[in-house]
Structures are given as C-alpha cells and as structure tokens.
Amino acid sequence: MAGYVSEAVIKRLPAYYRHLKELETEGVKQISSKGLGERMQLTASQIRQDINCFGGFGRQGYGYSVAGLREHIGRILGVDHTHAMIIIGGGNIGRAVALSDSFPANGFQTVAIFDNDQEKIGTGVGQLTIQDVSELKQYILENTVDIAVLAVPVSIAQELADELVTCGVAGFWNFAPIDLKLPEGISIVNVHLDEGLEILSFRMMQGLV
C-alpha cells in the first residue's frame, strides 16, 4: 500500500469492494473513474484520488480492470483469505450472525458459538452446537481463532474481552454497547445498533438525509 491512508478512505474500501463484486457479477470487465463514480455517488476525481491512495492501480485513459481492482482491494482488506470467528452469546444477535450466509460468503466463517446459559448449551444453531463458555479457553488453545464476536451483555463484555486477549485473540467484533478498553495491537470494530437508531432519530428530527 502507498503510505498513509486516511480513515475516510479506509471506510470507503468495503463499498469499493462491494461495487466491484457487483460489476463482476454483471459481467463488466473495465470501468472508468467516471463510471465507477456515478455508481458510487462520488466524483471521478475522488475515485482517482482514492485508488491512487491505495496503490496507484489502473492506467489513466484505459479505465480500471474490474477483476484486478477487486482483487487488489480484497488483498488490502485482507478478505482474500478466510477468518475463523467464534461467537460468544447465543442470543438473538449471536444467532443472527451464526446463521448469516453472507459472512461465510465473504470468508468470515463462524467455527464455534458459546453461551453460559444451561438452557442454550447443547442446542443447535445452524450447523453448530452452542458450547459451554467454560470450554472457551480450551477451544482457543486447540483451534485457530481470528475474530471473537461479542454478543453478550455489557456487564460481562470487558472481562470477557480481557480473557480473550490473554488467550491470544486479536480481533473483536463487538455488539455490546460499551467502549471496550483493549491493549495496543488488538483490533476492534463496534456495531452499536442502538446508537445507529439514535442517529436515525436525530436525522429525522433535523430533516437531514
């Protein structure tokens, strides 16, 4: 990658990736910055600047190779290889993540799901069976785990995250509405659904789009 990439560009990477996958599906081989811009509601110059920023791909005047650019961005995002995910919490959110088709289709494979509720332990979620959270450490010792999905109550989220970090988990997808404190080198993305709804409510109040 070519040097510093701003947070704004990083946030657009998955959208580039999604649009390029769609274009591939549609059978489009080449696309100009203008064409991609129209599709993504960005200007052609913004597209050129972004793509320049993450590696100077493509040749001006010829447009971009859809497959080539999709692969290039896939490599940057690290979605050219599979990630093994474990889910902690067999409630509604945990189940929804475990049952999704689209995460495995993008290389994010749920390999195990844990809960501390005796009523849930041993029950099935798709192909998986909910395991006792007391077996979590042992599981991580014996299996490759890239990402832990936290779908647990706020009250236990920090303690659980600390334990998982100790076990060597370096990536967290956190659905608990809490700002987890994690050591340097550990990556986290929060999905604070409540906050999204509040932002929606705010925009509706302001009449903003």
Interaction between residue 99 and its own copies (CB under 8 A): yes
Q: Which of 53, 84, 167, 191 binds its own copies (CB under 8 A)?
A: 191
Interaction between residue 127 and its own copies (CB under 8 A): no
Give 99 or 141: the residue with its C-beta nearer to its own copies.
99
Give 142 or 194: the residue with its C-beta nearer to its own copies.
194
The candidate with the shortest Cα–Cα distance to 136, out of 201, 90, 174, is 90
Interaction between residue 78 and its own copies (CB under 8 A): yes
Q: Which of 33, 69, 133, 173 binds its own copies (CB under 8 A)?
A: 173
Interaction between residue 203 and its own copies (CB under 8 A): yes
Q: Which of 117, 135, 159, 179 binds its own copies (CB under 8 A)?
A: 179
Interaction between residue 194 and its own copies (CB under 8 A): yes
Interaction between residue 186 and its own copies (CB under 8 A): yes
| Window of 30-38, 64-72, 109-117, 165-173 that interacts with its own copies by CB under 8 A | 165-173
The nearest distance, CB 29 to its own copies, in angstroms, is 22
The rounded distance, in Å, linking the Cα atoms of 148 and 171 is 6
Interaction between residue 124 and its own copies (CB under 8 A): no
Interaction between residue 132 and its own copies (CB under 8 A): no
* Tokens describing residue 13: 């990477």
Angle 44-53/33-40 helices, nearest 10 degrees? 100
| Window of 11-19, 57-65, 110-118, 128-136 that interacts with its own copies by CB under 8 A | 11-19
Sequence-ordered list of residues with C-beta below 8 angstroms from that of 10, at least 6 positions apart, any chain: none
